[in-house]
Every structure is written in C-alpha cells, then in structure tokens.
C-alpha cells in the first residue's frame, strides 16, 4: 500500500537518501519496532497497555512460532502479569517443581526444588497470545528492512521494494543478527557450534514424567525434557560428537527430512540412555522438530560497555544481549526489556504534553523519548550484563578442558548464585 508523501524536516541523511525520498513514497510513525518475536511483540503490547501506538515490522510472512518451547521463570511471569496475559498462558503450561539432574557415567543424580514459579510455554502460544492483544494492523508481516539511515528525529528505514518508513523512535528487537544493532555500531554477535535437535512429543493418555525438568548428561549426549501439560513434553537432544559427518547429517535432516534426522538421533541414543528417552524422540511430532547448530551470544564485556542508543534508536532482547540458552533467561530478560522500555517511553509521553500537531510539543516529546531511552539503557545494563556473564561462564564451563578453567568457572557461578537460581528472583517493577 502506497502512502502520501510526507516531506521530511531537517535531516542528517545522505544525498542518496534524499534522492530515494524523491523517488519513492514514504510513511511516518512515532514508534517502529523491528522484529516480531517475543521481545518485539511484548514491547508493542506493553506500549499498547500504556495507550501508545507502535508498528511492528516482521520480515517473515507469518509469525515466527517455530523454536519449540521457552522456559519462563518467575521474573518473566511478573512481566506477563503486567501485560495482562499471564492467567491465559498459565492455562497452557503446568508448573515445574524441580530440576532432576542425572550424570549417567557417574551414576549420580540430584533433585533441586524450584522455589519460585517456572513453566515451559510453547513459543507459539506465547507469540499468538501477545499478537492477538495488540491492535489490528499493528503488526506488518513480510516487511524486511534492508537499510537504516539517520534522521532527525529517529531513523529512516528502507525495504527491498523501495518503501520508506520514517520512525521517530526505532526499537530493534530483531535478534542476534540485528540490522538495528548494526546501525548502532555494535559488533556482530558471536556464536559457538553446538548441534541439538528439539521438538515436542504428545502422550495422548498422559506422560509419566510428573512435574520435573530432566537434564540427562551422557558421554556423548545431553538430553533435556520438560513437561508442558499432562499430555505434552518438550525436549532437546544435544550432540557432543565433534564429527563433521554427524553435524552434516543433522544439517541435511533440517532442510530435507526431519524424520531422517529423528531416526539418526534415535540411533545415537539407543543403548546409551533409558528406553523412555529413545521412545520420546522416536514418537516426537516431525513437524515440531528443528535443528540448531549455533548458540549466539554477546560477550558480557560488550553488554557492559557497548552503546545501545543513538538518539531515539535503541535495541532490546537478543539484539541487545543474546546469551544462548545456558541459564534459560533469554526470553524472560527480553520480557523485562519490553516492560522497562515501554514504561520509560510512557513517562516521556506523559511529560511532553501538547497535541500531535503542536510542533514545539513534538520536539519536547522527541527530547523526552531520547532521555527515556537513555534511562532504559542505564536501568537494564547492569541486569543484562550480569545475566550475560552468568550464561557466558556456564558455556565456558561446558567447553572447558582443563581443571583450572572448570574450577574458575565454578567459583564465579558460586558467587553469582547460579545453582540457587538467584537470577530468576528479580522484579523489574510495574508497567
């Protein structure tokens, strides 16, 4: 859909951008969110709850509901309460009451109670619930941003078809390969190779696993199994074999035939782990299966010192602090980002006064938005830097070969309270 041409005001854009503006049609929005994943939709919903409109741009043609399940700890549920969707989501996910860790080679197991709320949600349920609670038309699917140009205020976005979208406030919730983070000058997120298969298995007559999250460590595999409902479990199987052939086989299965991938994983597990695990993978839903070959993260020192703001442009979620799945806080931390950012912008909007056509008041609003985003970055930095450090050290511990490195990692994690899940008992406040 073409929109009437809106002439820009004073801009620091290049001559090339000025030429583009003369050639193509342009639209303008107060707040644009790039990325329609968990963080992007949560930010849009949080803003909507505060009476602030926004536009979410998602490059996929549909909501990206793949990716299996997501563990949401008590800090995430506190945010979902503020967003007004916690009660509905709790109906789709049972409580998890303990972590059951098993070290097969050592013939050792532990049971660690979960003292606060923890539930595994289907990513699909979370995204669809948030999406249906934002206004119609607030999510634009199939909109891929190819470039971002500076503007005063905000930024100007261009698409492959030449469409131009002016954003007075731009929020990048577009993941570890974020185009907004690149615009801000952030270094690309790093990755480590880690191949694992994940999916869902249904038990029509009920599964026998209770309400414990199992983490089974074998010599050449790591299996995680979490109950979602009485009849549905989520699982992952990590491949620890440093074999190009094994990784190639999983890559091929990911794109050609997930049933073949499932079969290859079952073959690796047979005779190596309990029959119930083999049966779980064998009976999994092929359509739910996907293969991950890399874990993306930002080093904690980058999170601690990087510039996450340029005027009224900022980032949130994985675009700000990708940390892999090592401590299970990526999703909940993204929810926290959404709440804090929306709250900061709402305060700025409340303090700007005036109407939409009042230019001096609009300038006040933009200055207030820049200040609000600066406050958001300051408020979040210490929290996400600590989470990033914790996740980074856990990852290093898993990869460590020397005893000294392992002891150093364990010492840091003890100081951070990782075993006691201290990072989960966090409250980012009211919306």
Whole-number Å distance between alpha carbons of 128 and 88: 12
pLDDT tens, residue order, the chain (431 aa): 333 322 333 344 455 555 545 555 789 999 999 999 999 999 999 999 999 999 999 999 988 877 789 999 999 999 999 999 999 999 999 999 999 999 998 889 999 999 899 999 999 999 999 999 999 999 999 999 999 999 988 999 999 988 899 999 999 999 999 999 999 999 999 988 888 899 999 999 999 999 999 999 988 889 999 999 999 999 999 864 444 444 444 444 444 578 888 888 998 899 888 999 999 999 999 989 988 888 899 999 999 999 999 999 999 999 999 998 889 999 999 999 999 999 999 998 887 654 445 444 555 667 789 999 999 999 999 999 999 999 999 989 888 889 999 999 999 999 888 777 888 999 999 99
- In the DSSP assignment, the letter for residue 187 is P
Dihedral angle, C-alpha 388, 54, 309, 38, nearest 10 °: 10
334-362 b/e (C-beta count within 10 Å ≥ 16 → b):
bbbbbbbbbbbbbebbeebeeeeeeeeeb
Alpha-carbon Rg for the chain, nearest whole angstrom, is: 23
Q: Using an 8 Å Cβ cutoff, are 125 and 92 in contact?
A: yes
Q: N- to C-terminal Cα distance for the chain?
A: 34
Domains, in order of start, for the chain? 15-67+77-91+122-189+298-392 (3.50.50.60), 192-296 (3.30.9.100)
Helices (H), 85-145: 86-90, 123-132
Instruction: State the pTM of this model.
Output: 0.88
Tokens 């699917």 found at: 141
What does the longest C-alpha to C-alpha distance in the chain come to? 73
Tokens 């109906």 found at: 91
């Amino acid at each position: 859909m073409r929109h009437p041409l809106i002439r820009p005001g004073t801009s620091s854009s290049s001559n090339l951008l000025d030429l583009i503006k003369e050639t193509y049609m342009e639209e303008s929005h107060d707040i644009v969110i790039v990325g329609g994943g968990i963080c992007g939709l949560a930010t849009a919903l949080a803003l909507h709850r505060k009476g602030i409109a926004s536009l979410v741009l998602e490059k996929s043609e549909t909501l990206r509901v793949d990716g299996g399940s997501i563990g949401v700890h008590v800090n995430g549920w506190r945010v979902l309460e503020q967003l007004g969707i916690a009660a509905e989501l709790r109906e789709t996910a049972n409580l998890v009451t303990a972590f059951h860790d098993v070290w097969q080679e050592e013939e050792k197991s532990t049971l660690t109670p979960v003292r606060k709320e923890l539930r595994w949600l289907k990513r699909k349920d979370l995204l669809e619930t948030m999406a249906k609670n934002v206004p119609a038309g607030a999510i634009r699917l199939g909109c891929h941003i190819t470039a971002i140009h500076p503007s005063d205020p905000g930024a100007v976005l261009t698409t492959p078809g030449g469409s131009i979208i002016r954003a007075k406030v731009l929020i990048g919730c577009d993941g570890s390969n974020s185009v907004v983070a690149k615009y801000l000058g952030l270094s690309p997120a790093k990755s480590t190779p880690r191949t694992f298969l994940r999916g869902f298995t249904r038990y029509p007559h009920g599964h026998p696993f209770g309400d414990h999250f199992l983490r089974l460590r074998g010599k050449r595999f790591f299996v995680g199994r979490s109950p979602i409902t009485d009849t549905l479990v989520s699982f992952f199987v990590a491949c620890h074999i440093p074999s190009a052939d094994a990784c190639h086989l999983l890559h091929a299965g990911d794109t050609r035939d997930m049933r073949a991938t499932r079969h290859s994983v079952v073959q690796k597990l047979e005779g190596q782990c309990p029959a119930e695990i083999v049966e779980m993978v064998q009976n999994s839903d092929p359509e739910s299966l996907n293969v991950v070959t890399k874990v993306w993260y930002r080093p904690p020192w980058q999170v601690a010192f990087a510039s996450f703001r340029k005027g009224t442009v900022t980032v949130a979620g994985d675009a700000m602090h990708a940390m892999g799945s090592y401590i299970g806080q990526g999703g909940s931390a993204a929810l926290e980002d959404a709440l804090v950012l929306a709250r900061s912008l709402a305060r700025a909007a409340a303090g700007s006064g005036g109407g939409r056509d009042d230019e001096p008041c609009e300038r006040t609003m933009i200055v207030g938005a820049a200040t609000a985003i600066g406050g958001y970055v300051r408020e979040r930095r210490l929290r996400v830097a600590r989470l990033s450090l914790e996740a980074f050290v856990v990852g290093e511990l898993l990869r460590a070969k020397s005893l000294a490195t392992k002891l150093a990692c364990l010492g840091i994690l003890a100081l951070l309270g990782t075993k006691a899940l201290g990072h989960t008992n966090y409250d980012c406040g009211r919306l």
